[in-house]
A and B are shown apart, each in its own frame.
Chain A
Amino acid sequence: MAAPVLSLRGVTKRFGGLTAVNAMGFDVSEHEVVGLLGPNGSGKSTTLNLISGALPLTSGQVSLWGNRISGLPPQTITRKGVSRTFQLVRLLPSMNVRENVVAGAVFGHRRRWGGEARDHADQLLDQVGLGGKGDMAVGQLTYIDTKRVELARTLASDPKVLLLDEWLAGLNPTELQIGIGLIRSLRDEGRTVILVEHVMDAIRSLCDRCVVMAAGSKIAEGTPTEVLSDKEVIRAYLGDDDA
């Protein structure tokens, strides 16, 4: 395996007496799509928040290309090339669709401004299937379109690592196929992605590798087929209606 782009070592987060994430460690290589799975409340989203800098770590270390990024504020981590979507879509209500994407292009890893940023935004909007909708108000968008805008915003700074937090959740079956297709196109472009996901179809068809969490700890790691037949994993999910 080549040198990892992103690696986690002993990453731990405690909220008061509760340990939400306990000594997590895994690596992500370049061009790899890694799925982070686990039952509700197992600490997946918290792990993502620790990587993106939304929450400070209690202990442990996250590094990007071998350089420590844990402990840095979220804006610095973004500038170094880690970009994310949010579990509940967060768009900027006072701006139109294009400006929402430009917002991701101006201050991030690769910076653009003015006409260049607008052209780049339009190009990304085309890519996510929103071509021609740049002047729309975000309030007029359908649910999947809001997710598309957010995805385009995260892509706008050419991140090295993309963090998608349940990006496919809440989509209906037709939209789900579109959504999976969209993420597959990112994978085909050779992007490095970590996705927190519940949708098993998506995990099977998208992920190169999966990390499974339960109660804050890693319980399995491997290809989708390997982990989904793992005894520990089945036990963790038992009674959980998901997938």
Chain B
Amino acid sequence: MDILITGILLGGTYALIAIGLNLQYGVARIMNLANGEILVAGGYLAFIAYVSLQLSPLLTIFLVAPLAFALNWLIYRVMLQPLVNRAKTRGQLETDSILATFGMSFIGVGLMLGFFGGDYFSYSFMAVPLQLLGSTYGANRVIAFCMAVLICGALYLWLNRSRAGLSIRAIATAPASARLVGIDVKRLSALAFALGGAVTAVGGALISTYLTLDASTGVVFTLKALIIVIMGGVGDVRGTIVAALLLGIVETAVASLLDPGLTLAAAYILFLGILLFRPQGLFGKTTT
């Protein structure tokens, strides 16, 4: 029971990060391997704001989100749009964007190392115990989870109820046809990419309230987010959330029952199972 709740609390934040990545891959067609660095940067901002200005991370996210949005929008427009334009095939865009975002990821790590050094950073925010169903949990985890649920819910409603959301889902399903019905694919792709980055950065700020980060941990989160997206299905918000919770629970179970050093191995076993048995994702339909 303990494992289940801790796992779900962790999975909530994972869901947020993975939804960010899914927006970027599903809509803008960019497999963004620098996603984890955006997350760590979000965490850094929250850390600095808390330590130097005593600003609560829950307020910092309102600063992190627009900053990350602007940064990702710029990255897409300046660096990635040319790749989309020159790619002749989907495969070529995939290879190009993977290499380019690897480059950005390394540059991101390099810059953060340069500015902040290689130390772990953590701060204690709301590290008070909270009684829940007979067990105690850190209040920071519970709050981060609630925020994640709020943001996921808002995104889900926006994607499914608003006009822009509908257009974005249209692009995710059929980019060529979306153009034909008058959707500005380029503008909305940039928007989705920027939004995805903002969501991820907010996830980073939230995760920094209870996990220790350092400049080079980004790749671990990238990997987990990628696994979640593949498990949940590209462009599938509901699948992403389920997959994230599943990963959170499995990781927590492995960490507490076996060894905390084996969390990635746990994620990989899930990943392998999906690859072998359901490569189209948990809820995906077989496409032609």
Using CB atoms and an 8 Å cutoff, list the residues of chain A in contact with chain B: 15-16, 55
Contacts and interface: CB of A to CB of B under 8 A. Distances in A.
B288 interface: yes
A45 to B, nearest CB: 13
B86 interface: no
B287 to A, nearest CB: 9
B90 interface: no
Contacts of B285: 16
Contacts of A16: 285
Contacts of A15: 288
Interface in B238-288: 285, 288
Which applies to chain B's interface (DSSP): helix, strand, loop or mixed?
loop
A122 B65 CA distance: 64
3 contacts: A15-B288, A16-B285, A55-B288
A156 to B, nearest CB: 26
A185 B285 CA distance: 45
Contacts of A55: 288
A58 to B, nearest CB: 11
Nearest to A46: B288
A16 B285 CA distance: 9
Nearest to A15: B288
A10 to B, nearest CB: 20
A16 B288 CA distance: 10
A89 B285 CA distance: 30
A15 B288 CA distance: 8
Nearest to A16: B285
**For the complex of A and B, 3 pairs with smallest distance between CB atoms:** A15-B288, A55-B288, A16-B285
A164 to B, nearest CB: 22
Contacts of B288: 15, 55
A180 to B, nearest CB: 33
Nearest to B285: A16
A19 to B, nearest CB: 14
Nearest to A13: B288
A55 B286 CA distance: 12
A192 to B, nearest CB: 28
A92 to B, nearest CB: 14
Nearest to B286: A56
A162 B285 CA distance: 33
A46 to B, nearest CB: 10
B285 to A, nearest CB: 7
A72 to B, nearest CB: 18
A125 B285 CA distance: 44
